[in-house]
Structure 1
Amino acid sequence: MQKLSCSSYKDLLARFALELPSRYNFAFDHLDRMADGQTEFANPLAIVHVDDDGIRRDYTFAWLKEASARLANALRDKGLRKGDRVMLVLYRRIEFWVSMLACHKLGLVPVPSPAQLTPKDIVFRVNRAAIRGMIVDSSITGRVEAARPECESLHCLVQVGGGNLPEGWHDYEALSREASPVFPKPEGDALACDTDPLLIFFSSGTTGMPKMVEHIHTYPLGHFVTGAYWHDLREGDLHLTLADTGWGKAVWGKFYGQWMSGATVFVWDFRGKFEPARLLEQVAEHGITTFCAPPTVYRFLVREELARYDLSRLRHCTTAGELLNDSVFRDWKRLTGLPIYEGYGQTETTLQICTLPFMEAKPGSIGRAAPGWDIVLRDAEGNECPPGEEGEICVRVAEGAPVGLFTGYLEDPEKTASVMLNGYYHTGDKAWMDGDGYFWFLGRVDDLIKSSGYRIGPFEVESALVSHPSVVEAAVTGVPDELRGQIVKATVVLAPGFAPSEELTKALQDHVKQVTAPYKYPRIIDYVSELPKTISGKIRRVEIRQRDEAASKA
């Protein structure tokens, strides 16, 4: 698959075509071929990995081929078979890439998951997805053990990073060391390919508990546009996407499309609090050429003394995940000479809308429809919206789904049917389009909160709050924040016998951190006597947001 040299967006659309090879499996048909020198690329380097102590290790495609073969053989020896689901909780360890590729080769279905999961979260996900295996960092083992009595489906548990092994666990290094380094491409039905399940992401739980989003083996091909065109990658580029491997954005910027473009993935496995100065040191020291991060990160970076760092090799910057402030766009361009090219997509898709290098980067616009995606805005009545009128972002699928669109929400046909209507996939996001065909994002039709690059569903936070004895009802919304994009706010009705206080606020925040992922805790808690509701009794979060907006302008 070769990148076209295009002079304009119109030129790209006229010439673009995405090939779908028969019986395609990314691990065999791209990664292993790269390792064997059977592609048009000569670049042997797959990953540059820098750990939290600053130690750099370079990994070739040949190394990844052998390491993933060893792990695939080891997991097969432990009884895992094609179609089994395996949860991965590995931060940004090199073992994440090895595990993903091993799963692809064996036909297992990886479920990348964030390290912030609590035992309660693990129980929910393991049982919902009937998880058979887990490969986790040693710091996660204790939480898995706490959840394990309620997780009957678990069969194979692998710990990465050494340390004591609880009963029934396997050491990653020992498993891999003892296994064969050769894993030939299977034949017949033994090969996972085409419409077989490739991976599962859990959604952020916007309107309920997290849902299972399934992608198939053609999904990586959809990310060729992500890497080759949006990230503008060339052979030998060193690309850094800052995302953690527990989120869908990781495979957007740290896996498929980058290697399809002949680039090298740069991984900085930092732990603890994000420090913008340390990130700039990495970019300068290692010569990052292309970079992608959420707008929140850019907001931190422009506050640093950028002149102290050698960013001369950085030539292309992208962003996604939340709205990019005009001021951040202009400050970054003034300080570095580089515009920031926005993009839009979802866990359920690959890149849907983007600004490409040969397009004007309009501050605040997410760009135009990505090649291969037929995007239309529709109003509440299903009518197509003209320029200037806001509507829901929808994808035409009547004549075939674009490569990279999910198959549906597993075991949730009603939810799938609610977004696949009358020949369209409904994203649930709103935008308007200008006269040049550029889309301008407005927000979620529902109540998703985007804070510091995280996507937070109100339902999980509300569920955590009402599990505290002092809370009767809770509504969670996002409040605009200059640094984080949004912060989580909880509007709470207290039970009789409880009164608002600073001590209670701190107790509720700590409670949320214990029940669900800590980053979801409400930074603001507002105590009220009742919540605004519809006639049917549903909470009107939009009214809370409107009140907050009016108060901020008063």
Structure 2
Amino acid sequence: MHTKPTFTSYDDMRANYCLDCPDDFNFAYDVLDAKNPDQPAMIHVDDTGTRRDLDFGFFQQTSHRLANALLARGVGPGDRVMLILYRRVEYWTAMLALHRIGAVPIPSPSLLTAKDITQRVNYARITTIICEDSITARVDAALPDCPGLGLRIQVDGSPAEGWLDFEAIMAQAAPQCPRTKATPGGNDPLVIFFSSGTTGLPKMVLHNHKYPYSHYTTAAVWHDLTPSDIHLTLSDTGWGKSVWGKFYGQWMADAVVFVWDFRGKFDADALLRIIADNRITTFCAPPTVYRFLVREDLAKYDLSALRHCTTAGELLNDSVYHAWHKALGMPIYEGYGQTETTLQVATFKFMTPKPGSIGKPVPGWNIALLDEAGQPVPQGEEGEICINIDSPVLGLFDNYMDEPEKTASVKFDGWYHTGDKAWADEDGYLWFMGRTDDLIKSSGYRIGPFEVESALVAHDAVVEAAVTGVPDEVRGQIVKATVVLSAGYQGSDELTKTLQTFVRELTAPYKYPRIIEYVPELPKTISGKIKRKEIREADLQKYAN
């Protein structure tokens, strides 16, 4: 579809790289159906270790048939379809089938409870659900309170009462779902992601059919993919990150998508064996995963096929970057985006990585750091990451579905306001500070939590840390760290003093945590993001005068 772009520098990329998406673009027809059916598309390894090698012909055939099966049962343009499928092959088939007919998939995480399902089904007005057999009991428990939920399709196992069998309805369907004048594309609705809100119901982020096209940059340039690559992004299909790294851009770049459908708790040793045994060449995971990987003896694993590594989702700690680089001789390239965007800031392989920096703006994303008055801030000062929307931005969400007020609160005066803060250094690299609400104001200083957290987790005693501000009469706020300790360590006054000294040596002295609380685990959203607001609210009561 594209000739892989090559660049000598960031300036070369800025000057010469531009994506021009067709007005009626539909990924299923324009990308998938254009592939040679015999070309390798996916390597899938399930939780038992069973490996399947699938070509594009498999996804062409199954998605055409499922599209017809859904049409025959009344699913059509605009209908909202919840998918809860872990990392099963059927997820890709279902997404592609829905893209063909204009129904709107809502990928959802497997951790949803019956209550969560009830809330989301009613909130999003979902009419159809496709899920694995292990989820059906939760859906059935929610069903009495979901009057709009009609069609239920089960993957695997004997269908429960009221459920249709995924494979059976496909087998009965016609093999071709041809493109017509009514086929959706371009600016038509494509997919809804629930954003991982830390309080209340998350927002419904709507992307149109041009959204996948923007992910070509993610795959071909940031992941550096070629047709000979096997790429693994470690993400559940219930989140937007899965289509960043396991779907659209990777197939546009002709790479093979590697999927490991593990269940239960993440295991670093198991992941490293998967990478080694399957000769993974490029890899992307959140910093938390790398943090656990570098605690293993990496020399035990044959990682010789691995050539390029990336990370996103949170900030990469300096200590992890250097440990990985020392062990494997390769850097980790950071990237930044949101559920509402595709890749908008990144460090690419033709740039010198600065550990802790998210990189520079991606071509096509006109980014500025603005103050509260909407004015650009000077170099070196913090500002909100904002995207100019005076003209359409390929990859930016359309709106928060059914919530025009929420959309208007972030898209105004010609800018999309991300709610994230950063500062730019003298070379134009951006340094992420955190969400606007997460910044700590202490004695006139504004402190981002990530720098302090990064310093803490560099100590062997600390596995995870969440840094927040606690009200203080003298300083306004003081820095507090909520810490999860490594095995073999116990919280004590002595350890607290050790960690405080350690942080002071790595950061500016005023940033060290004056309070350290030890906990068995941090409060997190189901997507794994730390709920700092929940910690702050608990502290308001705990430390109130």
**TM-score normalised to the size of structure 1?**
0.81
In structure 1, the residue matched to 2:121 is 126
Structure 1 counterpart of 2:396, from 405, 415, 434: 405
What amino acid is aligned across from residue 233 of structure 2 in structure 1? Answer: T
The within-5 A match list for 1:126-165 is: 126-165=121-160
Residue 219 of structure 1 deviates from its aligned partner by 0.2
- Structure 2: how far apart are the matches of 1:442 and 1:320? 14
In structure 2, the residue matched to 1:13 is 14
Residue 236 of structure 1 deviates from its aligned partner by 2.1
Q: Is the 8 A contact 2:281 2:308 kept in 1?
A: yes
- Structure 1: how far apart are the matches of 2:147 and 2:363? 44
1:227–1:327 distance in 2 versus 1, CA, 3 Å? same
In structure 2, the residue matched to 1:421 is 412
1:480–1:27 distance in 2 versus 1, CA, 3 Å? farther
Q: Tell me, which stretches of 5 or more residues in structure 2 are unaligned?
A: 440-448, 458-463, 469-479, 487-518
1:108 aligns with 2:96: no
- Structure 1: how far apart are the matches of 2:192 and 2:389? 21
In structure 2, the residue matched to 1:437 is 428
What amino acid is aligned across from residue 222 of structure 1 in structure 2? Answer: S
In structure 2, the residue matched to 1:533 is none
1:90 aligns with 2:90: no
1:547–1:267 distance in 2 versus 1, CA, 3 Å? farther
Structure 1 counterpart of 2:178, from 178, 184, 200: 184
In structure 2, the residue matched to 1:329 is 321
Q: Which segments of structure 1 move beyond 4 Å, counting only runs of 4 or more?
A: 447-452, 480-483, 516-526, 540-548
What amino acid is aligned across from residue 104 of structure 2 in structure 1? Answer: V
- Structure 2: how far apart are the matches of 1:131 and 1:518? 21
What amino acid is aligned across from residue 249 of structure 1 in structure 2? Answer: K
SS at match of 1:441: strand
What amino acid is aligned across from residue 143 of structure 2 in structure 1? Answer: R
- Structure 2: how far apart are the matches of 1:138 and 1:170? 11
Residue 208 of structure 1 deviates from its aligned partner by 3.8
1:78 aligns with 2:73: yes
1:164-211 deviation digits (Å, cap 9, x = unpaired): 412x210111111121222212x22x2110111000011122454211
1:73-129 deviation digits (Å, cap 9, x = unpaired): 111111111111100000000000000001101111000000000111111111111
- Structure 2: how far apart are the matches of 1:353 and 1:517? 25
What amino acid is aligned across from residue 163 of structure 2 in structure 1? Answer: W
Residue 22 of structure 1 deviates from its aligned partner by 3.0
What amino acid is aligned across from residue 318 of structure 1 in structure 2? Answer: T
1:173–1:324 distance in 2 versus 1, CA, 3 Å? same
1:169 aligns with 2:163: yes
- Structure 2: how far apart are the matches of 1:520 and 1:371? 28
Structure 2 counterpart of 1:251, from 207, 225, 243: 243
SS at match of 1:446: helix
Q: Is the 8 A contact 2:107 2:192 kept in 1?
A: yes
Residue 522 of structure 1 deviates from its aligned partner by 8.4
Q: Is the 8 A contact 2:64 2:97 kept in 1?
A: yes
- Structure 2: how far apart are the matches of 1:215 and 1:317? 27
Give me the identity figure in percent. Answer: 55
What amino acid is aligned across from residue 183 of structure 1 in structure 2? Answer: C
1:375-428 deviation digits (Å, cap 9, x = unpaired): 110111211012110011000111x13101001111111111110121000000
- Structure 1: how far apart are the matches of 2:481 and 2:43? 36
- The aligned length equals 478
1:170–1:323 distance in 2 versus 1, CA, 3 Å? same
In structure 2, the residue matched to 1:446 is 437
Residue 132 of structure 1 deviates from its aligned partner by 1.2
- Structure 1: how far apart are the matches of 2:482 and 2:316? 16
1:237–1:160 distance in 2 versus 1, CA, 3 Å? same
Q: Is the 8 A contact 1:447 1:541 kept in 2?
A: no
SS at match of 2:334: strand
Residue 543 of structure 1 deviates from its aligned partner by 7.7
Structure 1 counterpart of 2:48, from 48, 53, 78: 53
Q: Is the 8 A contact 1:225 1:371 kept in 2?
A: no
In structure 2, the residue matched to 1:2 is 3
1:229–1:269 distance in 2 versus 1, CA, 3 Å? same
Residue 519 of structure 1 deviates from its aligned partner by 6.8
- Structure 2: how far apart are the matches of 1:280 and 1:358? 27
- Structure 1: how far apart are the matches of 2:150 and 2:142? 14
1:220-255 deviation digits (Å, cap 9, x = unpaired): 011011001110101121000000000110000000
Structure 1 counterpart of 2:350, from 330, 342, 358: 358
Residue 3 of structure 1 deviates from its aligned partner by 2.5
What amino acid is aligned across from residue 411 of structure 1 in structure 2? Answer: D
Residue 2 of structure 1 deviates from its aligned partner by 2.7
- Structure 2: how far apart are the matches of 1:283 and 1:199? 30
In structure 2, the residue matched to 1:263 is 255
Residue 479 of structure 1 deviates from its aligned partner by 3.8
The within-5 A match list for 1:361-372 is: 361-372=353-364
- Structure 2: how far apart are the matches of 1:525 and 1:290? 36
SS at match of 1:287: coil
SS at match of 2:437: coil
Residue 446 of structure 1 deviates from its aligned partner by 3.1
Q: Is the 8 A contact 1:222 1:350 kept in 2?
A: yes
1:260–1:363 distance in 2 versus 1, CA, 3 Å? same
Q: Is the 8 A contact 1:126 1:151 kept in 2?
A: yes
Q: Is the 8 A contact 1:116 1:518 kept in 2?
A: no
What amino acid is aligned across from residue 231 of structure 1 in structure 2? Answer: H
Q: Is the 8 A contact 1:86 1:132 kept in 2?
A: yes
1:384 aligns with 2:369: no
**TM-score normalised to the size of structure 2?**
0.82
- Structure 1: how far apart are the matches of 2:365 and 2:6? 20
- Structure 2: how far apart are the matches of 1:374 and 1:357? 21
SS at match of 1:246: coil
- Structure 1: how far apart are the matches of 2:250 and 2:303? 21
RMSD between aligned alpha carbons?
A: 3.1
Residue 44 of structure 1 deviates from its aligned partner by 0.6
Q: Tell me, which stretches of 5 or more residues in structure 1 are unaligned?
A: 37-42, 459-476, 484-504, 527-539, 549-554
SS at match of 2:354: coil
Q: Is the 8 A contact 1:90 1:136 kept in 2?
A: yes
Q: Is the 8 A contact 1:378 1:391 kept in 2?
A: yes
- Structure 2: how far apart are the matches of 1:339 and 1:288? 16
1:427-472 deviation digits (Å, cap 9, x = unpaired): 00011100101000000113599999x9x9x9xxxxxxxxxxxxxx
The within-5 A match list for 1:479-494 is: 479=482
1:228–1:518 distance in 2 versus 1, CA, 3 Å? closer
Q: Is the 8 A contact 1:239 1:290 kept in 2?
A: yes
1:308-357 deviation digits (Å, cap 9, x = unpaired): 11111100000001111100000000000110000000000000100001
Q: Is the 8 A contact 1:35 1:65 kept in 2?
A: no
